[in-house]
Structure 1
Amino acid sequence: MNKETTSKAIIGAKALVALAVLSAAIYWVTGLSSPTKNYVSMPTIIQEAEKIPPPPNAALIEKADNHKTSAALVSSRYKTSLSSGQVFEHYRSNLAQAGWRHTKSSNSLIDEYCKGALRAEIEFNPSMQFYTFSIIWRLRVTTECES
């Protein structure tokens, strides 16, 4: 290759890199900096989860949180000697006080709630005697509270 051909190839490569950087910047500015109407930030989801105390005698086993562009989850798993009914009643009372609405559940071991764009679930595992309390947000999923 001669110098002129090499120079043109370098200029072309630089133009492609500049176009890729510009495209990424436009995507980020339009997609992430202007969230949709039902966007809920991770700090808000964590605050909502912290408003709801576990029942007495429930021992925390594990806490987890995960946030992506279109979904977020905060969950806590507890070991307990309480029955599923006692756990569900505790959360039903505390979630209602915090403005959550009970929704229909498709399973007798899962109790579900909604508040705006958020969903809360209490999933009970009777064989292991633990339950998981989760608050979930999904960008493209409408809760009963939003519809």
Structure 2
Amino acid sequence: MEQFFTILANNIFVRILMVAVFLDCFLGAGRAIKEKAFNSCFGIDGGIRKVCMIGSVLFLLLVDAWTNFNFLFLLPEQVSEFIPISKLGLCEFFCILFILFESVSVLKNMLRCGLPIPGRLKILVERMLNSITNELETDELKAQKIKNVNS
């Protein structure tokens, strides 16, 4: 068990994921306070998702320890030489996916809080969120859509 915690503490992907989860929770709470829209249902739902995400990472770390699977053989040799890691198991693979998911959420919360985001990144995040979600819509756009639906 002690070896498991050592592996967990030394895994850079798990560390980055924990930082991303913390930032997302912190900025999400800040956004809810700023917008005066603190909703316990959203908070509980988000908390459950975070706990399940971290639980799945811990489970996959155990699976990796038992199976010793390494995805690096799938990468071209030039790429694996460039990346300074020796193992890319299921845990690391899903950590990368979760980090990307959390990063989008962090950027969205930064945008909604009005925090500074570099110009091109801000435009990219706005375009992406406007095309795949309705979270950046203003009250005027929402009222316009409702009016169009009712017409």
TM-score above 0.5, yes or no: no
Q: Which has the higher helix share?
A: 2
User: TM-score scaled by structure 1?
Assistant: 0.32
User: TM-score scaled by structure 2?
Assistant: 0.31
Higher relative CO (Cα under 8 Å, sequence separation at least 6) belongs to 2
Q: Which has the higher strand share?
A: 1
